Structure 1
Amino acid sequence: MKFFYVFHAKRLKQMTLILVAAFFTAMFMFMETTIHLPVFSTKDAPKALYKGEKGVALTFNIGWGDEKAEPILDLLKKEKVTSATFFLSGSWAESHPDIVERIAKSGYEIGILGYNYEDYTELEEDKIRQDLARAQTAFAKLNIKDIKYVRPPTGHFDKKTLAAAKQLGYTVVHWSLDSKDWTNPGTDKIIQKVLEAENGEIVLMHASDSVKQTSKALPSIINGFKKEQLELVTISEMMANANATAEEIN
């Protein structure tokens, strides 16, 4: 009989440990999916914004090309999309002032995609700052004011990038969903991928000449979001009066 009680005591202890572990695991997962860090964190560790809370932000990178930006703008106008964010390289903006003006007059938000197409992780902090400052000057000459956000040209960044951007008054914006439209995988695949977006998603798309299927995919994407009652917003609209998820960079 003693063996009987010892055996069950051990089993009870094991079950208790399993339940406690399961409880803390569930609590951790719940906190991870519900707690959002503010965009401007008070912690010392650098962070980049990659997700919001409400709405879906379609973001378009333009670093080069003459042919695809305007058809995409035409499509957005036709579909009555009033909120989108365009990350433009300073060198491209200088060469296409009329398109930049059109983007601004359409009410779309403009962010900086650096000046030159360089991998910021391969540059020293002062070189990153110089590239961003050069882009800043280019947009100022085009009368584009109140730019808040920066996206590194290649999408790669580190603490140096975050520090340089912060010093110039910008927040680095990444993305939570990559459409991979630049690989031209097929219109249906782009549509399917983007429509996986949920509330708070920042979607990466492109309007450079490398994309051949984006404008064809956009009508179905926009109509899909309407059916799901997901509002299209700019990055600033997404961040206004809402929490944001920030990514710590080691």
Structure 2
Amino acid sequence: MRLLIVNRKTLYLILLALILILTIFIVVQRRDKVEDVFNTDIIYQGNKDEKIIAFACNVDWGNEYIRGMLDVFKEKDIKITFFITGRWAEKHNDLVKLIYDEGHEIGNHGFQHIDYDKLDFNRNYEEIKKAHDIIKSITNSSPKYFAPPSGAYNDNTIKAAKELDYKLILWSIDTIDWRDDSTKDKIIQRVTEKVHNSGIVLMHPTENTNKALPEIIDYLFEKGYKVGRISDIL
């Protein structure tokens, strides 16, 4: 009987140790996540406690919808941030110039639309720098914000962006407008249900995004929000 009691005590101690180890692991993971969210080199939303929201349009395709988007923004008298890939900019110099000339902010979306979290430091640096040089050659202006495609990044991405004097931009409100089931109404709902001060709304040039934009903007205006660029919320 005594041996059984000792074994039970030992078992309890082992279980307690395992629970303690698991608890420590969870706390560390959560702490790392919090530190990541508040990392000054990674921006999910702005730091202004004001009713202002930034629109971030990532562009690697959908050039046929760009002029329609620009017409909406001109009609509503707002400027946003377009994150464009270098390969898209090379093929559509005229659209890049049009976006820039109409007063919109142009950000860097890397040269190719690939997963940057799978790249080493040198590849991250090369992809960001190549897009930077292309954009600068077209606009004669240096972009200062980098949005990794699909939001995929690793430590090498952060280091490369920082070395190139970029802030890494993600988002806090996602339209998911690239998905086949993303109707105009769903896109509107995804924005209006999550609106908050200094939010970053991620979008792409699609037909249904263009249809949804006027109603989204009107809704934000009615709620007292301003709509602007990434630089406007920082």
User: TM-score range with shorter-chain normalisation?
Assistant: 0.7 to 0.9
Matches within 5 A, 1:140-151: 140-151=136-147
Aligned to 1:92: 88
Q: Does 1:152 align with 2:148?
A: yes
Other-structure match for 2:133? 137
**Any stretches of 5+ residues in structure 2 without a counterpart?**
1-33
Q: Which residue of 1 aligns with 2:188?
A: 191
In 2, distance between residues paired with 1:221 and 1:234?
Answer: 16
Q: Which residue of 2 aligns with 1:246?
A: none
Task: Tell me what 1:3 maps to.
Answer: none
Structure 1 match to 2:42: 48
| 2:167 counterpart residue number | 171
What does residue 229 of structure 1 align with? 224
Percent identical residues: 35
The structure with the greater share of residues assigned to helix is 2
1:162 aligns with 2:177: no
Query: CA, structure 1 residues 233+156, in 2 after alignment: closer, same or farther (shift >3 Å)?
Result: same
Contact 2:106 2:143 in 1 (8 A): yes
Q: Which has the higher contact order (CA 8 A, sep 6+)?
A: 1
Aligned with 1:76 (options 52, 73, 96): 73
Q: Secondary structure at the match of 1:221?
A: helix
1:111 matched to 2:107? The reply is yes
SS of the equivalent of 1:51 reads coil
Kindly report the root-mean-square deviation, in angstroms, between the aligned alpha carbons of the 2 structures. 1.7
Could you state the TM-score of these two structures normalised by the residue count of structure 2?
0.79
Task: Tell me which residue corresponds to 2:178.
Answer: 182
The Cα shift of 1:89 comes to 0.4
TM-score w.r.t. length of structure 1: 0.74
- 1:62 paired with 2:59, answer yes
CA distance in 1, matches of 2:85, 2:209: 19
* Unaligned 5+ runs, structure 1: 1-31, 40-46, 240-250
